[in-house]
A and B are shown apart, each in its own frame.
Chain A
Amino acid sequence: MIPLFFGDASKPLFGIHHQPSTNSQFQDVSIVLCNPIGFEYGRAHSVMRYLAKKLTANGYHVLRFDYYATGDSSGPSSDVSVEQFINDIKLACDEIKAISATRKVTVIGYRYGALLAAFAAETYKFNRLIMWDPVVNGAAYLDDLQVIHNQMLVDPMRFDLNFLSSTDSSTELVGHDFPTPFRDKIKSLNLNDLKKIKTRRIDVFSYSDGYQVESFINDETFLSKAENHKFEGQSEWNNVSKIEAKVLPDSSIEKIIEVIG
């Protein structure tokens, strides 16, 4: 495991390069993991790390990274930008191909990271795209975040409700900056609006309570190369009591490993 900064020197991105296990079979494909955004980022850190380590056992070079203005990457949290995030995914792909000397890259995107990865693939060619519990509709996702945020603010276990009237939380959601241009762009992205994805195969891993992915999967543009792997159970992203809870690895991880091979 090698922690590093990469990308534009004026906006360095933090990443962790997980190297293949010593006795694993050589793979000519490397893998980039794309995080969720907002409070979901913190919830997902351990499970993304777990997935990365599992993939190295199968011989893959893996790069986990933080988008600009998130996690340990540079930039104040108020500088978040969807366009920047999509560009960061492409930078991460270039980086892992360069440091691992592999020609192809598979991208695994989790939650909004899956949607960002799909939009990055409009112009950047991925070997495969894995969309794990993806956000399909940015506007619906933002509505959900607003509901959780509002529930959090009136949670008597968390706040003294007598003090909240003076709080202006119009540009933040669950402890993260969500300035208006960022919200507007998040809202504007919908998987169903994608006209092309430059990848040979798309695998979607969705939960029974997750957003509907069927219309996207069944779109004639993607039907021939997309498959939806459904899981029973709940992902519980919309549960306000889980804001600080870590996501634990479940059977979806094993299935992702199996599908990637």
Chain B
Amino acid sequence: MDKVFLFGEKNNLVGIFSEPDNVQKNHDKPLILILNAGLVHRPGPLRMNKEFSLYLAEQGFSSFRFDLSGIGDSEKDGANNQSFSERNISDVGEALELIKDKVSPSKIIVMGLCTGADLAHRVAVKYTDISGSIMLDGYGYPTQRFYLKRYMPILLSPLRMFKIAVKLLSKLLPAKKSITTKESGADAYYWELPVKKHYIDDMELQHKRGNKHLYVYTRAVREYYNYEGQFVDNFASHDFCSSVEIKYFTYADHIYAVLSHRKQLFDACLDWIKRF
């Protein structure tokens, strides 16, 4: 059963609770807070978020999905001078207040794809109400093995080396000035990888709180994450490494456009949530 709410200080945010039907509410189970992926509204890319909410409800879990201000059906608060990034974080704060007020679950897991994963990390650091995160195609830091996998095929291919040489030569010629346009909301598509030291500090902080994480990668992010053990190779010496579980779906695309791939994602997430 879904219930819709307008919430936030300016009543400008639209969010939907999905709750299991015909079961006694179990406040011990974690609630999943699902964030926007880029500019895609609440149901998610190809209805992925709504489908996952239904799947969770069948298994007795509640979820909440909402639109950040200026995305989907949530109005942007014109009087709010915060940056896009700051506003996103305070919107999640408003959502957490609503969740505590209406459902009051013992634990909240935040989940996001791409820009949503970036936001999931930042709000999990900021808000102690959040106990864990599911990051879909989120952060990744290179390792030696990553570079070998990434660049060895190029080094071993004369044709590709030739193309790179041509490219480098063309860069020596004077370049045309590119024309850029200011596009409203474009920053919703992009995120910057935190400096590794800051990321480690964030994760140590969360580890001390007992937070746990599921990181799921696809080949869509092979430019920065290209094998399952890359996270462990990077952070094995840190305590927080044990609180992060990794799944690597090399066959899936970024938005899980093949339904069997999406089902495998849902199963992996549910399995992790059940053990949370």
Interface residues of A (CB under 8 A from B): 1-5, 12, 14, 16, 39, 42, 45-46, 49, 66, 70-72, 74, 76-77, 152-153, 158-160, 163-164, 167-169, 172, 174-177, 243-244, 246
B51 and A158 form a contact (CB under 8 A): no
Interface centre among B47, B50, B250, B255 (most CB of A within 10 A): B47
**A to B CB contacts below 8 Å, 7 in the list:** A3-B6, A45-B41, A70-B47, A76-B54, A172-B258, A177-B259, A246-B39
Which residues of A are found within 8 Å of B254, using beta-carbon distances?
158
Is B14's CB within 8 Å of the partner chain A? yes
Give the distance to chain A from B267, nearest Cβ to Cβ, in Å: 16
Interface centre among B2, B45, B50, B73 (most CB of A within 10 A): B50
Candidates A71, A77, A175, A244; contact of B258 at CB < 8 Å: A175
Is B140's CB within 8 Å of the partner chain A? no
Which residues of B are found within 8 Å of A71, using beta-carbon distances?
43, 47, 50
B40 and A42 form a contact (CB under 8 A): yes
Give the distance to chain B from A187, nearest Cβ to Cβ, in Å: 21
Please name 6 further chain A to chain B contacts, defined as beta carbons within 8 Å, in addition to the given A76-B54, A163-B250, A246-B39, sorted by A numbering. Answer: A3-B4, A3-B14, A74-B2, A152-B257, A172-B259, A176-B46
Is B213's CB within 8 Å of the partner chain A? no
Is B151's CB within 8 Å of the partner chain A? no
Give CA–CA (A16, B41) in the complex, Å. Answer: 13
Give CA–CA (A72, B39) in the complex, Å. Answer: 16
Name the residue on A nearest B250 (C-beta).
A160
List residues 41-57 of chain B with CB under 8 A from any CB of chain A.
41-43, 45-47, 50-51, 54
**B34-77 CB contact bits vs A (8 Å, 1 = yes)?**
00000111110111001100100000000000000000110100
Candidates B2, B75, B257, B258; contact of A72 at CB < 8 Å: B2
Name the residue on A nearest B41 (C-beta).
A45
A14 and B41 form a contact (CB under 8 A): no
List residues 143-184 of chain B with CB under 8 A from any CB of chain A.
none
B258 and A169 form a contact (CB under 8 A): yes
Contact A14-B46, Cβ < 8 Å, known A159-B253, A163-B251: no
Contact A72-B16, Cβ < 8 Å, known A5-B2, A159-B253, A160-B251: yes
Interface residues of B (CB under 8 A from A): 2-6, 14, 16, 39-43, 45-47, 50-51, 54, 72-73, 75, 219-220, 250-251, 253-262
B75 and A77 form a contact (CB under 8 A): no
A158 and B2 form a contact (CB under 8 A): no
Which residues of B are found within 8 Å of A76, using beta-carbon distances?
51, 54
B45 and A42 form a contact (CB under 8 A): yes
Give CA–CA (A176, B256) in the complex, Å. Answer: 11
Give CA–CA (A4, B4) in the complex, Å. Answer: 7
A72 and B250 form a contact (CB under 8 A): no
Which residues of B are found within 8 Å of A174, using beta-carbon distances?
46, 257
B251 and A159 form a contact (CB under 8 A): yes
Name the residue on B nearest A53 (C-beta).
B75
A42 and B46 form a contact (CB under 8 A): yes
Give the distance to chain B from A223, nearest Cβ to Cβ, in Å: 39
B73 and A176 form a contact (CB under 8 A): no
A72 and B40 form a contact (CB under 8 A): no
Candidates B45, B47, B73; contact of A244 at CB < 8 Å: B45
Give CA–CA (A71, B65) in the complex, Å. Answer: 12
Give CA–CA (A244, B42) in the complex, Å. Answer: 15
A167 and B258 form a contact (CB under 8 A): yes
B219 and A77 form a contact (CB under 8 A): no
Which residues of A are found within 8 Å of B46, using beta-carbon distances?
39, 42, 174-176
Interface centre among A5, A16, A77, A177 (most CB of B within 10 A): A77
Give the distance to chain B from A33, nearest Cβ to Cβ, in Å: 13
Give CA–CA (A176, B255) in the complex, Å. Answer: 12
Name the residue on B nearest A162 (C-beta).
B251
B73 and A3 form a contact (CB under 8 A): yes
Give the distance to chain A from B44, nearest Cβ to Cβ, in Å: 9
Name the residue on B nearest A172 (C-beta).
B259
Give CA–CA (A169, B41) in the complex, Å. Answer: 25
Give the distance to chain A from B182, nearest Cβ to Cβ, in Å: 15
Which residues of A are found within 8 Å of B75, using beta-carbon distances?
1
Which residues of B are found within 8 Å of A45, using beta-carbon distances?
41, 72
Give CA–CA (A224, B262) in the complex, Å. Answer: 49
Contact A168-B255, Cβ < 8 Å, known A14-B2, A71-B43, A163-B250: no
Which residues of B are found within 8 Å of A164, using beta-carbon distances?
251
Give the distance to chain B from A22, nearest Cβ to Cβ, in Å: 16
B39 and A12 form a contact (CB under 8 A): no
Q: Which 3 pairs across A and B sit closest by C-beta, in order of nearness?
A: A175-B46, A163-B251, A175-B257
Give CA–CA (A74, B3) in the complex, Å. Answer: 11
